[in-house]
Amino acid sequence: MYIIIFTIAVALDQITKLLAIKYLKHAPTIKLIDNWLHLTYLENSGAAWGIFQSATLFFSVITIIICFAICWYLLKNSNNIDMLIKLPLVMIMAGAVGNLIDRLRLGYVVDFIFTPLGGLYNFPVFNFADIFVSVSAIFLAVYLFFNEEAL
């Protein structure tokens, strides 16, 4: 089941990025919900929020190490891990692999979702892989904070 979830998540990320390249790369920003949700094309050669620009090799190596560590942990402990830990780890890995594919294939990560939050704060442009990693990491942190025995 987790392999299917992983595959679907990576496919969703990659398909939406291919669509962004095809339809957004040379187009103006599309405002889906004015001041709340826009589609805009961005090539990010750094990490989250565009920090550490041009560190593609570094982030590729770190991503591979993290993915191997998560795989090793899941395989070694597969019978003893709560589903509410397995699923976020799989989604973190899917997001990491989605962005890794971009880095290896293009030399940068394609970002295209922009949420200006009603004009209050211009959140950095992101993609589905970023959503998978961020939401899963936050969920996992909160879950482990309130369920220490889950470790």
Residue 13 falls in the annotated catalytic set: no
**Residue 37 backbone dihedrals phi, psi, to 5 degrees:** -145, 115
Helix 2-24 to helix 83-106 angle (10° resolution) is 40
- Between CA 18 and CA 25, with CA 23 as vertex, the angle to 5 degrees is 85
Say how far apart CA 133 and CA 128 lie, in whole Å.
Answer: 9
Total number of residues shown for the chain: 151
Q: Which of 13, 34, 82, 130 is catalytic?
A: 130
Q: Which of 13, 34, 102, 111 is catalytic?
A: 111
Question: Residue 44 belongs to what H/E stretch?
Answer: strand 37-44
* Other beta carbons within 10 Å of 81: 16
Residue 111 falls in the annotated catalytic set: yes
Residues with a catalytic annotation lie at 111, 130
